[in-house]
Amino acid sequence: MTGAKLQQHGTATSLSIPITRQSNRWSRLFGQWTRSPVGVIGTVMVLVVLSVAIFAPLIAPHDPNQHHRQQRFLPPIWVEGSDPNFLLGTDQLGRDVYSRLLYGSRISVIVGISAALVSGVLGAALGLIAGFKGGLTDQIISRFIDILMSIPFIILVLAVIGVLGPSLTTIILVLGLTGWAGYARVVRGETLSIRQRDFVTAARTVGAPSYRIALRHIMPNTFASWLVLATLDVASTILAESSLSFLGLGVQPPTVTWGLMVSTGREYISSAWWLVVFPGVAIAFTVLGIIFLGDWLRDVLDPRLRS
């Protein structure tokens, strides 16, 4: 009876240790977040954009593509001559700018996250293979990285989109498949360092297969650097999508994007400044929030920057 109680007590203790460590880890992370103004501001800004993108159909007062021919070029509500039904005014076709801003956030979020995931997964896989295998495999992948990074990004993207044609799927694939080189270089460098450590040597000594060592012991230790890079890559991808839409090579109408709003509104900037200013502010707000969040993640996850 006593032995059973001791065994039960020992099992409960062994289960409580990892739970307690996990709880302490999250508590420490939350404490670091609350003490970082940059982390708090960045998180709030990103959550605002994500909430707007998710609930745009519920928040938007009008259909983003609905025309109001008699109410074209209405200014924002605080400017004389405005209409209370159009908070941020209307464009050259009488479409509600506020509703179009809300729906435009959805494209930016979808493209930014999707393209970053495509390039992040591909780059991490190739970087892990190159760093772990070494030799000829490393040389071949490294040369591909060098070639891709030597080509101007915008020229490469324009060439591919010019051949395939602009669409949402094409934009995601092009931005994803042309942005993996940075991930591969970072993960390769991390892998080259980690594979020399004692725990990897010990795993080899006990006969662990190579794939298990790479996936179980090396890859998790590269995740912190990968996550920071992926967060910042979302911001650069949103900027790239906006630039392509501005040039007319991004997502095509009637789909609403912030870059397309800036492109169509630039002709009227002297008389209807709100057509350019509001989508430009939305792009800057989103990118700045992601950069703030990425900087905080770097400070927290990089042991060399911890105080």
pLDDT, position 9: 47
More confident residue, 2 or 175: 175
Q: How confident is the model at residue 51 (pLDDT cuts 50, 70, 90)?
A: very high
**Would you tell me how many other CB atoms lie within 10 Å of the CB of residue 34?**
10
Region 1-23: mean pLDDT is 46
**pLDDT tens track for 262-292:** 888 888 888 889 999 999 999 999 999 999 9
Region 159-187: mean pLDDT is 86
pLDDT, position 8: 46
Domain spans, the chain: 1-35, 37-305
* For residue 85, pLDDT beyond 60: yes
**pLDDT tens track for 230-253:** 988 998 888 888 888 888 888 888
Q: How confident is the model at residue 22 (pLDDT cuts 50, 70, 90)?
A: very low
The beta-carbon contacts of 224-229 under 8 Å, at least 24 apart in sequence, are 224/301, 224/302, 225/186, 225/187, 225/190, 225/301, 225/302, 226/120, 226/124, 226/183, 226/186, 226/187, 227/297, 227/301, 228/294, 228/297, 228/298, 228/301, 228/302, 229/120, 229/182, 229/183, 229/186
Q: Which homologous superfamily does the CATH classification assign to the domain defined by 37-305?
A: MetI-like (1.10.3720.10)
**pLDDT tens track for 99-114:** 999 999 998 899 989 9
pLDDT, position 255: 86
